[in-house]
Amino acid sequence: MTGDATAPAGPGNKIIAHICNDIGAWGAGFVLALSKRWPQPRAQYLKDKAAQALPLGAVNLIQVEKTIWVANMVAQRDLCTRDGVPPIRYDALRQCLEQLGRHALQLNATIHMPRIGCGLAGGKWEKIEPLLSETLPGILVIVYDLPR
C-alpha cells in the first residue's frame, strides 16, 4: 500500500511494527518518523537501553493513542555490516514476529509497517516477506511504501 506507516489506515486497533537495533541507537530511518508523531516509543527504547534490556528477539509494545500501539522489535545487531553480514538478524526477527502475532491477537489488532529490515538493517524483502506469512497467519498485515 502506498502511504505512511505512522498513519495506519482502517478501523479498530492497530499495531505499527518496526525494527530496532540492540545497542540503543535511535536516530535514523523509520524511527525518525515515529518520533515526530509520538515520544513514547523512543522513551521506552532508551529506558530499555538503560536497563540493558535490548536482547535480540525482544518486543516492547507501547500504546501511543487509544487504538494505536507501536512495537519496538529488536532484530538488528549493531548498526553496520560486518564481514559481509548485514545488521538484520532473521532468527531474531522471526521471534519478534511470533510475539507480535500474539499481541495482535490479544488486542484484535491489524499490523502496519514499512518494509521492515530493508533499510538500514540491510535485509532483503524476499527473505522478510515470507516470514510475515509464516508467523502472522490470519492477521491482516499492511505494508506501506512511501509515495515517490
Per-domain boundaries in the chain: 13-143
pLDDT at 1 over 90: yes
How many angstroms separate the Cα of 104 from the Cα of each of 64, 71, 86, 128?
Answer: 15, 10, 28, 19
Q: What whole-number distance in Å separates Cα of residue 38 and Cα of residue 135?
A: 27
- What is the pLDDT, as a whole number, of residue 132? 98
53 compared with 44, residue with greater pLDDT: 44
- What pLDDT, in 10s, does the model give residues 80-121? 999 999 999 999 999 999 999 999 999 999 999 999 999 999
Answering whether pTM is above 0.85, one says yes
- What is the pLDDT, as a whole number, of residue 87? 97
Q: What whole-number distance in Å separates Cα of residue 9 and Cα of residue 81?
A: 34
- What is the pLDDT, as a whole number, of residue 79? 93
Size of the chain, expressed as the number of residues it contains? 148
Q: Chain centroid to CA 22: how far?
A: 13
- What is the pLDDT, as a whole number, of residue 16? 98
- Mapped onto helix, strand or coil, the DSSP state of residue 128 is helix
Proportion of the chain above pLDDT 70, given as a percent? 100
Q: Which residues partner with 112 through β-bridges?
A: 16, 142
pLDDT at 54 over 90: yes
- Mapped onto helix, strand or coil, the DSSP state of residue 126 is helix
pLDDT at 144 over 90: yes
Q: Which residues partner with 19 through β-bridges?
A: 73
* Ramachandran angles phi, psi of 51, nearest 5°: -90, 5
Q: What whole-number distance in Å separates Cα of residue 47 and Cα of residue 51?
A: 6
Q: Which three cell numbers stand for residue 12?
A: 479498530
76 in Cβ contact with 24 (< 8 Å): no
- What pLDDT, in 10s, does the model give residues 42-52? 999 999 999 99
DSSP-assigned states of every residue in 36-66 = HH-SHHHHHHHHHHHTT---TT-EEEEEEET
pLDDT at 30 over 90: yes
pLDDT at 131 over 90: yes
Homologous superfamily (CATH) of 13-143 is: Leucine Aminopeptidase, subunit E, domain 1 (3.40.220.10)
Q: What whole-number distance in Å separates Cα of residue 99 and Cα of residue 82?
A: 28
pLDDT at 148 over 90: no
